[in-house]
Amino acid sequence: MKIVSVAGTKNTGKTALVTILVSELVRRGFRVGTVKHTHVKLDLEEKDTWKHREAGAQLVVGAGGEETFFITNESTDLEKIITSVECLKTLDFLILEGYKTADYAKIATSPLEGALTLVQVDVRELDSSDVADLADLVEERSFGKLSNMDCKDCGYSGCLEMAQAVVRGEIKEDVCVMKKISDAVLVINGEVVPLNPFVQKFVKNTFLGMVSALKIKDKEIETEKIELTIQYESNR
């Protein structure tokens, strides 16, 4: 999944541009999702879900025939949303509205400093060819979640420098070794912890060796995918 942010000051057409990009990418056959950064309180006072939270519920789920939403008592940062919301993993593109400081490619609707800015646009002057060019840019120069391993195997000093080169169009994100290998994934408290290629292969081979000796109802286990959950209590 590639991620791009539409960022800029208030009333510069961010929402309009997000909807334009979503429509164009969907027209091209991609699965697209969005995340909007807002300072407005979403759970309205005196509504039923608000009353549930006021009563002390740590998590409130609103479920209807056409939509489902989750409300918690704490703010959730962008990276946790990206890694923990399962339905996002099926997307081709995730478009963010806001999040101008996040380390993702950006389309600016007002002057924006930073080496990850793809282009600055005036939404009021966009025509159909401009929209197509923007979508091309998103396809070609946006990138997914960085591993932040800074392993340097890509030839750059760190993941952020590599991402900047992707935005400039000098390389593709598949130069990242961590993106090519997913033999083993470690998740701690809902957060994905990057593992270098050697550790991934070691973990995979170790557990495959252990599981291959197990049987369930006198049948050998097919090891297409293994999930192991360890309940751990800290002594602190």
What is the CATH number for 96?
3.40.50.300
- The answer on 43 and 117 residing in a single domain is yes
Q: What is the pLDDT of residue 232?
A: 72
- Dist. CA 145–CA 91, nearest whole Å: 13
- Contact call for residues 137 and 119 (beta carbons, < 8 A): yes
- The answer on 44 and 107 residing in a single domain is yes
- Dist. CA 38–CA 60, nearest whole Å: 19
- The answer on 140 and 190 residing in a single domain is no
Output the six-digit token pair for 188: 């701690």
In a domain, 230, yes or no: yes
- List C-alpha distances in Å: 2 to 73, 88, 159, 176, 229: 29, 11, 15, 14, 28
Give the end of a domain, one of 90, 120, 145. Answer: 145
Summarize pLDDT for 4-46 with one digit per residue, the tens: 999 999 999 999 999 999 999 999 999 999 998 877 666 778 8
- Dist. CA 129–CA 218, nearest whole Å: 63
In a domain, 97, yes or no: yes
Give the end of a domain, one of 128, 145, 162. Answer: 145
Checking if the pLDDT of 93 tops 80, the result is yes
Q: Which burial class, exposed, middle or buried, applies to 48 when counting CB atoms under 10 A from its CB (0-12, 13-18, 19+)?
A: exposed
Q: What is the pLDDT of residue 218?
A: 58
At residue 67, the 3 state secondary structure works out as coil
Provide the residue range defining the domain that includes 214: 181-236
Report the DSSP beta bridge partners of residue 193: 186
Q: What is the pLDDT of residue 219?
A: 59
